[in-house]
Amino acid sequence: DQTRLIFQGLFLAPQFVGEAIKSSHLAAALFSQLGYDVNPLPSTPRRDVIQAIKLGSPDKIIAFCRAIQQWSPVESYVDPIPDNMPGYDSQLVMAGGTFVDGSTSELSADGPLRSPYIVFCQGGTHWTHAAIALEAAAAAVGPAHSN
């Protein structure tokens, strides 16, 4: 049974990575269009699936993470709240309603509540799910230069 699971993982890995890369490109394009600084820029070659979005305020990081959590397939009812975490000199907020705890291939987001207030969005095993969650996150934070 272990051999079957290993081969299943090898078979599914390219699909999961492809979906996560599509999700990160989508996040970069969407939030760039809303006026936020993003890194990497939309449509640039990538070496990983992490997308940094400079939201500029702690309230926007919290709102972004809440939207991602609300559209997660697991524990969507959980409200991510900032808290102290070992290894960080500021509070951190994390969203990750994933099937596997700590998964980096499933859609998640987190960010430290300190200037310049960057949220790190990663993963997404289905870009269509990421699109729904990112649409909610965009609605939650609004354009970059709104009050």
CATH number of 115's domain: 3.90.1150.60
What are the residues whose beta carbons fall under 8 Å from the beta carbon of 91, sequence distance 6 or more? 82, 83, 84, 85, 112, 113
The percent of residues above 90 in pLDDT, for the chain, comes to: 80
112 within domain boundaries: yes
32 within domain boundaries: yes
Number of domains observed in the structure of the chain? 1
- Note down the domain range covering 22: 14-141
124 within domain boundaries: yes
Condensed to tens digits (0 to 9), the pLDDT of residues 42-95 reads: 989 998 899 999 999 999 999 999 999 999 888 899 999 999 999 989 999 999
3 within domain boundaries: no
117 within domain boundaries: yes
Whether this prediction's pTM lies above 0.85 is answered by yes
Find residue 137's DSSP bridge partners.
none
Alpha-carbon distances of 1 from 5, 7, 14, 16, rounded to whole Å? 6, 10, 21, 22
pLDDT given at position 106: 84
2 within domain boundaries: no
146 within domain boundaries: no
114 within domain boundaries: yes
